Amino acid sequence: MTEEALAGVKVLDLTHYIAGPYCTRILAGFGADVVKIEKPGEGDPARRMAPFLDDEPGPERSGLFLYLNSNKRSITLNLRSKTGAKIFRELAKDADIVVENFRPGVMDRLSLDYQTLKEINPGLVMTSISNFGQDGPYRDYKSAHLIAWGMSGARYNDGAIGERPVQIGGWLTHYIAGLFAVAGTTVALYQRNLTGHGQRVDVSMMESNILITCYPTVTYSYRGIVHNAISKERMGLFQCKDGYIGLNLFGRLNWEMLCTFLGMPELIQDPRFETPLAMIEHFEEARALIAAKVAEREKMELFQSGVEWRIPLGLVPNTEEVLSSPQHQARGFFEEVDHPVMGKVTMPGAPFKMAESPWKLKSPAPMLGGHNEEVYCHRLGYSREELVRLGERGII
């Protein structure tokens, strides 16, 4: 009996950078057979993105690429050549899913658009991830992590009006688009299994980020005021003796508990902090009082005792501390890959734990074109000689 949610599901992965590869990383981790199709010679541009092992760039040394491409096989194929496109269509005949994140229109120009592929394989699910979606006035606009965040509506970092907005850390906006792409792809696959019909899934990075940051906009429509005034009541981050902690108060009761916890019970009766409006007005004073109390305490002690009091309080770990978290250790969240060039590297494993069809790490990110022979010869029946000729012509 199978133990994989996506056992037997064949994915052709035309994606590059982050959003698309994150989508297919999740599919691969839950058992799909993902064949990553890369440009001959160069491969996925994420191979040229930091961090690199020992800070030395190289196509098989990128930590970003390593993280996003576990469990996949890599073949090279020049889709811009007629033969290359033809070979892709051969692969598409018995595939279940195609995922791509080219700019809208590119797949049409390659004669690999959904209509064409659907004729070859009516059950195919084709997922396209793009900056703004496959239609609408911004369809052909370019984007970037910074831009996607700015257009999502999440602008008042730490509740500051008038301050220069700043992007969220890492490459989160791309990952978020990739996450929604998994959602759409799995739903379409589920329906395909029932009806036999595939469909096109159109994922917009802009919309994905609007969805995950939509509180201020939903609230705005009701109250006509901007979000930041309210978020102040949560209090935010504070420096303590050995780092930072976050206070995330939700309502009056949390405030009263905090005052007692920090040994300032007199503040419960203080008119400066008695109502939501008063609290917003005297926000800086409240912060100063808290800051003075936590400055000399240690973060882990504050965290442990704070949660015992059930005060919503968070540690603010850096990546080293995330890696050494006792909770993550106990749950076995991190997995160690062993890559032929990069050696042993630790990184996040399953995004969630499924009891019957668990996440599995079967192989590290593939070497560029590392599975050409396996896929072209065994799956499509090309001979080794034909493979050599395709290589000479720059097709693979």
Q: Which of residues 314-373 bind other proteins (CB under 8 A)?
A: 314-323, 325-328, 330-331, 333-334, 342, 345-348, 350-357
CB of 85 to other proteins, least distance (A): 22
Beta strands in 253-300 (DSSP E): none
Positions 370 through 389 that interact with other proteins (CB under 8 A): none
Q: How far is the CB of 379 from other proteins (least distance, A)?
A: 22
Distance between the two ends of the chain, CA-based, in angstroms? 37
Nearest to other proteins of 356, 392 (CB atom): 356
Question: Cβ closer to other proteins: 316 or 367?
Answer: 316
Q: Specify the pairing of strand 343-348 against strand 334-339.
A: antiparallel
> Quick one: which of 81, 116, 121, 248 contacts other proteins (CB under 8 A)?
248
Nearer to other proteins, 194 or 384 (CB): 194
172-195 and 205-212 helices cross at what angle (nearest 10)? 100
How many CB atoms sit inside 10 A of residue 45's CB? 13
Asked if the bond preceding 51 is cis, omega within 30° of 0, the reply is yes
Q: What would the x/- binding string for other proteins be over residues 256 to 285, using CB under 8 A?
A: --------------------xx--------
Amino acid (1-letter code) at residue 208? S
Only one of the segments 87-95, 215-223, 285-293, 380-388 lies at the binding site for other proteins (rule: CB under 8 A); that segment is 215-223
**Tokens read off for 42:** 């160069």
Q: Binders of other proteins among 295-314, rule CB under 8 A?
A: 307, 310, 312-314
Show the tokens assigned to 34: 């993902």
The least CB distance from residue 366 to other proteins, in Å, is 17
Q: Do the beta carbons of residue 235 and residue 248 sit within 8 Å?
A: yes
Site for other proteins in 38-97 (CB under 8 A): 49-51, 53-55, 63-64, 66-68
Q: How far is the CB of 268 from other proteins (least distance, A)?
A: 18
Question: Is residue 175 within 8 Å of residue 15, measured between CB atoms?
Answer: no
Chain-centroid distance of CA 255 in Å reads 34
Nearest distance from C-beta of residue 273 to other proteins, angstroms:
14
Q: Nearer Cβ to other proteins, position 84 or 198?
A: 198
Q: Are 313 and 306 in contact (CB under 8 A)?
A: yes
| Smallest distance from other proteins to CB 36, Å | 17
Residues 147-206 touching other proteins, rule: CB under 8 A, are 147-162, 164-172, 175-177, 179-184, 186-191, 193, 195, 197, 199-204, 206
Residues contacting 298, CB < 8 A, separation 6+ = 240, 241, 242
Shortest Å, Cβ 212 to other proteins: 4
Residue 133 sits at φ, ψ, to 5 deg, of 100, 170
User: By C-beta, is 354 or 388 nearer to other proteins?
Assistant: 354
Taking the complex as a whole, the smallest distance from the CB of residue 154 to other proteins amounts, in Å, to 5
> Rounded to whole angstroms, what are the CA distances from 56 to 60, 64, 162, 262?
10, 13, 41, 48
Count of residues in contact with other proteins, rule CB under 8 A: 152
CB atoms within 10 A of CB 390: 22
